[in-house]
Amino acid sequence: MVQAGYVRQVMAGVYDYLPLGLMVLNKISNIVREEMNNIGGQEVLMPVLHPASLWKQTGGWDKIDVLFKMKSRIGKDYALAQSNEETVTPLAKEWIHTVKDLPLAIYHINWKFRDELRSKSGILRGREFLMKDLYSWHKNQQDFEIFYQKAKQAYLKIFKRMGLKAKATEASGGGFTEKLSYEFEVLTDAGEARILYCDSCDYCVNVDDIKTYQEGDLCPRCKKDKLQPAKAAEVGNVFDLGQKYTKAFDFYVVNEQGEKIYPIMGCYGLGTTRLMGVIVEKCNDEKGIIWPEQIAPFQVYLINIPGSGVDGKAKKIYDELMEKGIEVFWDDRKDVSVGEKFSDADLIGLPWRVIVSSKTGDKLEVKKRTEEKAELMDLESFLKLLQ
């Protein structure tokens, strides 16, 4: 990604997202956004700079080791968002007063900061990274469970839309709660999670959490295959937070009987920058990246081979494709050899490469990134292929 100009490292765990990289991120975010809106999530934008008081109120100030803490010049304490329970709960409390106001689901896609000890896996583990975090509140456990399942399905759909197959584990809730949670894992050697998985079904467990199973054990779900070890990247998770945060912020609602109840809260994280890295880990060959169409920054890599009339022809093709709403990246560099353009096309990894030259007459030379052979066709046929 660095070589192809998607990102630039500023320091370990901190990156610039360059024009192509930002386009990919925006595509990922838009898929996430659509699916979160589909389950009733409302998008907001919360701050990353938090007063220490909120984190002291939940105990996170002393307990969370990755929390970045800062002092202002007049000695006031602040924290940088490592997650947003501490701001979203007081926010919901301000608007929600009776059970009739529930359920509620709020999310944002914003920077998170974590003092990770090791940040050696590129954008897979940032000290500053983007996360989509959704939070929900419910009048009772049953209502929460229904939404929780919906969120889980939405997550599986998101990963599928990005061309990824994610396995849903059941894991303990870690520092948050003792309740169950789901982790979504994508098998890749670049990941840091160690899992045992079943090839015949979706079953998978995190090795750190579930000591009951060992490599070679029969899959407890489908009982067809043996559990195999693998490395995986956690691309998302959902937690049942119970009443931990609603109690910490004294966020209660009044029910039909006029009694005070503390809503049940859930949180649903998804690492958008990590996802971008995971997709690259899964979709590449020795020449470079192979973006799935849905999140490629552009669909077409257009190259014009110097020759008489070619520039004009390429311009016409570019305009016509753009007019049809096709995203075209036109490599019109004058000082670069054709061979270099070809290797950059492979490295950058757009789904289609289109060449215009004086030899091809009215036709285009079209090649899919995943295929070796190019084909000659007219613009009409290419447009049909794209559809």
Interacting residues with ligand ATP (CB under 6 A): 83, 114, 116, 125-126, 129, 131, 234-237, 269-271, 273-274
- 53: Cβ–Cβ under 8 A, 6 or more apart, which residues? none
Q: Which two tokens stand for residue 58?
A: 């939940």
**Least CB distance from residue 208 to ligand ATP, whole Å?**
9
Q: Which two tokens stand for residue 114?
A: 């974590």
**Kind of pairing, strands 69-71 and 14-17?**
unpaired
**Least CB distance from residue 192 to ligand ATP, whole Å?**
6
Closer to ligand ATP by CB, 41 or 271: give it.
Answer: 271
**Least CB distance from residue 350 to ligand ATP, whole Å?**
25
**Least CB distance from residue 82 to ligand ATP, whole Å?**
8
Longest dimension (CA), the chain: 83
Closer to ligand ATP by CB, 185 or 331: give it.
Answer: 185
Q: Point out the residue whose Cβ comes nearest to ligand ATP.
A: 271
Closer to ligand ATP by CB, 13 or 351: give it.
Answer: 13
- 134: Cβ–Cβ under 8 A, 6 or more apart, which residues? 36, 41, 105, 106, 107, 151, 267, 268
**Least CB distance from residue 114 to ligand ATP, whole Å?**
5
Q: Report how far residue 247's alpha carbon sits from residue 172's, in angstroms, rounded to the nearest whole number.
A: 21
Decide if 105 contacts 135 (C-beta within 8 A).
yes
**Least CB distance from residue 47 to ligand ATP, whole Å?**
18
Closer to ligand ATP by CB, 96 or 123: give it.
Answer: 123
Closer to ligand ATP by CB, 274 or 367: give it.
Answer: 274
Closer to ligand ATP by CB, 41 or 236: give it.
Answer: 236
